Structure 1
Amino acid sequence: MELKIQPKPFIRGKVKVPGDKSISHRAVIFGSLAEGTSEIEGFLQGEDCSRTITCFREMGICIDIEGEKVTIQGKGLQGLKEPGDVLDAGNSGTTARLLLGILAGNPFYSVITGDSSLRNRPMGRVVNPLEQMGARFYGRIKSGLLPLTVIGGDLNGINYQSPVASAQVKSCVLLAGLFARGVTSVIEPTLSRDHTEKMLQYFGVPINKQDLKVEIQGGYRFSGKRVKVPGDFSSAAYIITAAALLPGSDVTVLNVGVNPTRIGLLEVLADMGADIALENKRLENMEPIADIRVKGAQLKGVSIGGSLIPRLIDEIPVLTVAAVLAQGKTEIRDAAELRVKESDRIATMAHELGKMGAGVETLSDGLIINGPQKLKGASCNSHGDHRVAMALAVAGLTAKRETCIKDSQCINISFPDFEDIIKKL
């Protein structure tokens, strides 16, 4: 599949983006582990979240889907059954890593795998604490890669000092902690996304948070809930950045989750000179939501790193596009995590933007970009990475002549309506 993007002088309009991917995953997980019925509204019907649903169905959970509404008949912490086949997480790192925490807590045999990309992404970062809790794993590279065999059950709580700020690692350990004896705690070097903590509290599970530490008592039972999923900020990021880059633009993205642990991009764009306002602020299932209005402006380069990185890690590909067109130097550091995403996003963005005429210097943990640079239309490749594909589409809106992005079907992982929305603005 090939996505063709025509340049535009500006974009205007009001749009909605798909439901938040992180919250959709977690709503299915907690709905399945709860006792009774949970209803999810605004669920992201993308490939990643569908993998989570399929895996829980394999473990005996009844899940009905009607459009963006999902109804789950939860069976409680002890209600999952041993899957009769290998669980396939597809391309979803969230599905794989969070499910490993749940599989570790259940006294049965299971095997989980993924596609060729996911089978080469690191799993040792979650296997290590789960082994400390008592689970057993068998797999490639000392159980550091999928596929993994899991022998779960009989877990003990631990106090885990995570070497990386990762919502997936933190969530995996906390989910395992639900099944463990005693208290399980996770301490991070810097704060990562806190959707799991908010979802735990919303479902009535008590947690204790203190600075960078969060702890949970094992064995706590909870009941089903109704969850409203806000628009995904990481999807909105492409529309927001495109509007910020094109002078004369005026775009409002409606009903977007603005959790402070997710919106580092807004802070960076504001520092770069973007005109951004949050309107109609409100709260749903403990998650802050707002309409985000963006007007085009001439941006300037900035330095990005440190504790800000976990709050915008998924947005760095599109932020790289903004840096190419900004006035002056932009330096991105402390983002080595980009090397082990769906693609090596540091190398991939530099290579593909190079096809469009941009010079981008790569570092082991980031990028250096001197702007402004003029982009030309080119034939680019997504490398199977949905965030790279959409970032290149934003670049195409600012380029001279048409840009073609090959292997663009990967966009369906998180933003199935992306092409239609971009073309209608």
Structure 2
Amino acid sequence: MAFRGTISLPGDKSISHRAALFAALRKGESRFVNFSKNDDCASTLSCLKQLGVASRWQEDVLIINGMSPAEWHQPAAPLYAGNSGTTSRLLSGLLIHLPFATQLTGDNSLSRRPMERIITPLSQMGGQIESADGHLPLSFYPAKEIHGIHYPLPVASAQIKSAVALAGLYAEGETIIIESTPSRDHTERMLGLPFTYKDGRKYIHVKKGHPLPDLSMTIPGDISSAAFFIVAALLTPGSDITLQNISLNPTRTALLTVLKHMGGAIDITPVQEKPEPIGHIRVRHSRLQNIPIDQSFIPNLIDEIPILSLAGVKAVGHFEIRGASELRVKETDRIRALVENWRRAGLSVKEFDDGFSFCGPQQFEKTRITTFGDHRIAMTFAIAGAACGTEMTLDDPDCVSVSFPEFFNILDRLTS
């Protein structure tokens, strides 16, 4: 079964979250075409609605009527972030400023994910936050004063960076965020935050009163969603697909770099550079060779490691992921989920605290996949079955709606 065709994908999830949150801060109307309709982004819109920020759909255009957080309303019930780490962490940077108490909750999966990583800097800024031992629910109380800080990021995390940046927009004094390892830079780009480099580190400067731009835009297709079909086309003889208007933000394209080095026939046609790079991606079937993957790639490859593991299974040579302990605290423990499912499918896989390894190519067997309710695990093994002609039965296929509810329809279109 070959993958063939030209398609566009739903809007980038990371950009959609930020578009909604940043538009909510700016007085007036913002309009977004191709805003992602996944469950996570719906959680962001729902939380904003509870705070008094109205949004509505006009056919396929999302319209948000923003206003200063000083005009936000106290919600009648706890804010519910669902499964969305981006919603909970970025919104926290704004909730510390509100003159009333709020509580932020999430589903069981999100409630297991670490929140101390945002509680620490936001508390240093003066935020009054209570947590369930560093996890959701988080309770926010009115603070006497929120002040800027100089904060070196302890891990490469766009969510921590963005939470502190949002808090800094309304804090007294300057906030400087110091980043040693690059992470997604959508927040800096979209807000137009100034930054400098010194001694190999990035210094992002945030001051109260920073002008908020009108971000009305057509949101580019999600590169993390594209990743599944890119790998599928590379592995399946006769495949030739083109993905149009995909986000090519350089902090998100490590997967393309790795796959090209593995021998993947991937051609990129740029169509826009600012504010976000966008382009068309053509992918054709290729014979892949596994290569060493430097740990410096991992922060900007973290969401694509599940589907990259499938490429590694079918490529020739040793495949190894290390330095990826962050996978342990995603929607599920993705290292464990991948290792258990690949072993169940008959593969020989070695597990480490911070990754896994195996030798390719290996054949896998018909099996029932335990998704652990994780959208990326589900889509990885759905592609494994479709691309390699082996039946993979998912225990919870509906979990893909967290990030990509259109996934199975697009999969059918490319293989029909």
**8 Å contact kept, 1:77–1:179:** no
Once the two structures are superposed, what CA deviation does each residue of 1:186-215 show, in whole Å capped at 9, x if it has no partner?
A: 1122000000001101xxxx4233342211
**8 Å contact kept, 1:305–1:334:** no
Which residue of the other structure, out of 113, 118, 137, is the alignment partner of 2:129? 137
The one-letter amino acid of 2:126's match is G
**8 Å contact kept, 1:378–1:403:** yes
Which residue of the other structure, out of 292, 316, 341, is the alignment partner of 1:327? 316
Query: Which residue of 2 is the match for residue 354 of structure 1?
Result: 343
User: For 1:21-100, what aligned pairs fall within 5 Å after superposition?
Assistant: 21-100=13-92
**8 Å contact kept, 1:37–1:225:** no
Give the TM-score normalised by the residue count of structure 1.
Answer: 0.94
Q: What is the rounded CA distance, in whole Å, between the counterparts of 1:13 and 1:231 in structure 2?
A: 16
Q: What is the rounded CA distance, in whole Å, between the counterparts of 1:190 and 1:235 in structure 2?
A: 24
SS at match of 2:71: coil
Q: CA deviation at 1:221?
A: 4.3
Query: Which residue of 2 is the match for residue 415 of structure 1?
Result: 404
**8 Å contact kept, 1:45–1:68:** no
Query: Which residue of 2 is the match for residue 219 of structure 1?
Result: 209
Query: Which residue of 1 is the match for residue 6 of structure 2?
Result: 14
Query: Which residue of 2 is the match for residue 5 of structure 1?
Result: none
Once the two structures are superposed, what CA deviation does each residue of 1:130-178 show, in whole Å capped at 9, x if it has no partner?
A: 000000111211xx10001011442000000111000000000000001
Q: CA deviation at 1:39?
A: 0.7
Query: Which residue of 2 is the match for residue 282 of structure 1?
Result: 272
Equivalent pairs, count: 410
Which residue of the other structure, out of 209, 216, 223, is the alignment partner of 2:196? 209
Query: Which residue of 1 is the match for residue 100 of structure 2?
Result: 108
Which residue of the other structure, out of 117, 123, 126, is the alignment partner of 2:118? 126
Identity within the alignment, %: 43
User: For 1:348-387, what aligned pairs fall within 5 Å after superposition?
Assistant: 348-387=337-376
**8 Å contact kept, 1:177–1:218:** yes
Which residue of the other structure, out of 251, 254, 264, is the alignment partner of 1:264? 254
The one-letter amino acid of 2:202's match is L
Q: CA deviation at 1:413?
A: 1.1
Indicate whether 1:197 and 2:188 are aligned: yes
Once the two structures are superposed, what CA deviation does each residue of 1:101-137 show, in whole Å capped at 9, x if it has no partner?
A: 1101222210001000000000000000000000011
- Specify every segment of 5 or more residues in structure 2 that has no aligned partner in the other structure, as ranges: none
Once the two structures are superposed, what CA deviation does each residue of 1:217-247 show, in whole Å capped at 9, x if it has no partner?
A: 1233435441221000000000001111123
Moved more, 228-237 or 271-280: 271-280
The one-letter amino acid of 1:341's match is K
- Specify every segment of 5 or more residues in structure 1 that has no aligned partner in the other structure, as ranges: 1-7
The one-letter amino acid of 2:65's match is Q
Q: What is the rounded CA distance, in whole Å, between the counterparts of 1:121 and 1:249 in structure 2?
A: 38
**8 Å contact kept, 2:51–2:73:** yes
**8 Å contact kept, 2:249–2:278:** yes
Q: What is the rounded CA distance, in whole Å, between the counterparts of 1:246 and 1:67 in structure 2?
A: 37
Q: CA deviation at 1:295?
A: 0.7
Q: CA deviation at 1:179?
A: 1.1
